[in-house]
């Protein structure tokens, strides 16, 4: 029966056979809320066996019952409240009444908002983000490796598509490692429940929006994790999925209404072509398939044009920020979402949390494609998306071309220069997140064919270019892997499990080469953390000359010069061409070695990069 839910519109409407199994009052979401929110309106989703046959009653000062909505499936009610300024924190009963039957009661709690300074503080170009997959980073609590009653109970570390047992406690145990590395912000792939039968360890097939996956921990542990990060001076990003939902969610197995998801006569995948959304010559069908097609058989495409879906998602995301105090959102598969809703969503969230940071995943192929989705409407889209920044895959591709490509008018390192020259397309390109790899693509070291000089050059660019740098777990210790299949880039971080032979979290557990890479990244990351010129300073780049690319990051206090030799062999260059930015400086300090360098002529090994802090001129 569940398989049929995925295939036909008539069956996907609701799983009638499940009704007898649903408790009379199965859940109320959001399960609690707060007084003093900017938006006084609140819509509760109530799920229970034939709950629509009951009347709703409540009485609490400052809370008004505005409307009760019955929908196609009688197992649901959507209840609209208004919370006035007179509403005070406390608990009050919501009663569901039916003549001749016992009343059902849910005790609803209104809490006091937490206005602590380190909550929802935002992630900016002052930060360095570390992305990890909790299942693959560290197992801090073996007791939750297998949870009775969940659909996937196996734990097989020898299989890339099975669960490996990593969890939130494991991450908490190693926050000091990240702090030492120079990381300022931690981003986990989604940690909320993914109760699918197989291979949902990645977190993008959500089955319960209000619950941390019990194999990772509990809601309370997640809150403690955020608090511990904040106490250590670290920030937290939460990964959100607006576009799709796991098919084992109660919201799919017993859908509120047919229009909760996008329906097709037969199963239809998205075409995954973002160009169809922006193409002025495009087919309406291509655009519909792009936006409304399903991401996967196990990932139903949510209908974000449905106002009940909109309220449910927006309130859930606001709930998590207020509950745990997270600092930013990463938005999965951003181009596949309903654009009007996403613009409204961003405004609604920022109204409650003005400092909260938001960036959308847009793995597209040109700067113009990326800019199409970013706020400010500088590409004449016709409206403002209110999306501050994106994952800058175009800069990532340009860095790879700079490292691997052959010199040409628009090839090799010239590609990176040309891409950055298109920053005029963005309202503020420094809000874009720049990266070298992530959980969906080949690891950086493998892309540069294990070339250590290229590896160091890429890391130098990551830490010195404009934007918010993000690195993927294990890149600092030379982890590698090719993304076809994806599992090969999602290996465990050695030392995160007590049975691991080597503990890469410690210098003693790393090889000489791994320690060299770790120290190189740590040096750059911590230098960046203490150098405002690399965070918020301006960027000036020069047209590459004979394969040598030079750019500067600078502010009133400091100038950093980055010199990349894209040639295979060692090259030398004089620096008079860069006098406009060097401004008479004669010497510089190497950020990596601390050595003093004369600026009259620089010698750079093949495929290598110099990161130099200019020293004040002495007369």
**Which active-site residues does the annotation give?**
332, 361
Q: DSSP string spanning 120-183? A: S----TT--EEEE-HHHH--S-GGGSS-TTSS-----TT-TTS-----HHHHHTTHHHHHHHT-
Q: How far apart are CA 396 and CA 387, in angstroms?
A: 20
CA 502 to chain centre: 29
Handedness of CA 371, 377, 379, 385 (dihedral sign): positive
Contacts of 556 (CB under 8 A, 6+ apart): none
CB distance 130 to 187 below 8 Å: yes
34-56 per-residue burial string, b: 16 or more CB within 10 A, e: under 16: bbebeeeebbbbbbbbebbebeb
Q: How far apart are CA 165 and CA 152, in angstroms?
A: 12
User: What residue spans of 367-500 are helical by DSSP H?
Assistant: 367-371, 393-404, 413-420, 444-447, 452-464
CA 93 to chain centre: 37
Q: How far is CA 588 from CA 58, 571, 609, in A?
A: 71, 19, 14
DSSP 8-class letter at 431: G
Quote the tokens at residue 103. Answer: 């009343």
Q: How far apart are CA 570 and CA 28, in angstroms?
A: 66
């Amino acid at each position: 029966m569940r398989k049929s839910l995925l295939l036909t519109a008539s069956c996907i409407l609701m799983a009638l056979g499940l009704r007898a199994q649903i408790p009379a009052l199965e859940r109320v979401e959001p399960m609690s809320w707060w007084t003093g929110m900017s938006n006084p309106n609140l819509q509760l989703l109530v799920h229970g066996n034939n709950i629509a046959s009951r009347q709703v009653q409540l009485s609490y000062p400052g809370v008004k019952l505005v409307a009760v909505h019955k929908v196609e499936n009688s197992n649901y009610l959507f209840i609209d409240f208004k919370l006035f300024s007179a509403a005070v924190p406390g608990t009050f009963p919501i009663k569901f009444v039916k003549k001749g039957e016992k009343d059902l009661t849910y005790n609803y709690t209104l809490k006091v908002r937490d206005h602590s300074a380190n909550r929802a503080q935002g992630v900016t170009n002052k930060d360095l983000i570390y992305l990890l997959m909790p299942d693959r980073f560290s197992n801090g609590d073996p007791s939750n490796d297998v949870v009775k009653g969940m659909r996937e109970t196996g734990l097989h570390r020898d299989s890339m598509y099975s669960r490996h047992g990593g969890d939130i406690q494991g991450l908490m145990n190693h926050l000091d490692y990240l702090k030492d590395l120079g990381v300022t912000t931690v981003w986990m792939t989604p940690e909320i429940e993914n109760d699918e039968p197989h291979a949902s360890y990645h977190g993008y097939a959500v089955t319960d929006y209000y619950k941390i996956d019990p194999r990772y921990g509990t809601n309370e542990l997640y809150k403690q994790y955020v608090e511990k990060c904040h106490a250590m001076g670290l920030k937290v990003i939460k990964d959100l999925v607006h576009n799709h939902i796991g098919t084992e969610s109660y919201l799919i197995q017993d859908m509120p209404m047919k229009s909760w998801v996008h329906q097709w006569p037969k199963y239809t995948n998205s075409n995954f072509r973002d160009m169809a959304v922006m193409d002025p010559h495009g087919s309406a069908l291509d655009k519909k398939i792009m936006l409304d097609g399903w991401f996967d058989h196990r990932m139903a495409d949510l209908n974000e044009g449905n106002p009940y879906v909109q309220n449910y998602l927006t309130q859930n995301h606001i709930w998590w920020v207020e509950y745990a105090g997270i600092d930013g959102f990463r938005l999965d598969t951003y181009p596949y979402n309903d654009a009007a809703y996403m613009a409204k969503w961003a405004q609604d969230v920022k109204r409650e949390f003005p400092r909260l940071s938001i960036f959308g995943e847009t793995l597209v192929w040109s700067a113009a494609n990326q800019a199409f989705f970013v706020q400010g409407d500088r590409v004449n889209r016709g409206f403002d998306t209110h999306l501050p920044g994106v994952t800058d895959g175009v800069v990532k591709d340009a860095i790879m071309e700079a490292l691997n490509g052959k010199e040409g008018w628009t090839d090799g390192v010239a590609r990176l220069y040309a891409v950055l020259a298109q920053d005029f397309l963005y309202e503020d390109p420094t809000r874009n997140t720049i990266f070298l790899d992530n959980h969906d693509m080949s690891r950086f070291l493998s892309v540069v064919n294990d070339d250590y000089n290229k590896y160091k050059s890429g890391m130098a660019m990551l830490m010195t270019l404009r934007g918010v740098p993000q690195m993927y777990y294990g890149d600092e210790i030379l982890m590698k892997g090719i993304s076809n299949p994806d599992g090969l880039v999602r290996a465990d971080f050695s030392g995160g499990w007590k049975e691991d032979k080597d503990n890469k979290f410690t210098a003693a557990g790393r090889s000489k080469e791994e320690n060299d890479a770790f120290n190189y990244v740590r040096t750059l990351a911590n230098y960046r953390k203490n150098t405002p010129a690399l965070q918020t300073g301006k960027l000036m780049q020069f047209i590459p000359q004979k394969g040598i690319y030079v750019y500067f990051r600078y502010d009133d206090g400091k100038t950093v010069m980055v010199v990349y030799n894209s040639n295979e062999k060692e090259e030398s260059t004089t620096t008079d061409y860069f006098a406009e930015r060097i401004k008479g400086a004669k010497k510089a300090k190497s950020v990596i070695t601390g050595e003093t360098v004369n600026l009259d002529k620089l010698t750079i090994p093949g495929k290598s990069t110099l990161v130099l802090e200019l020293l004040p001129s002495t007369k």
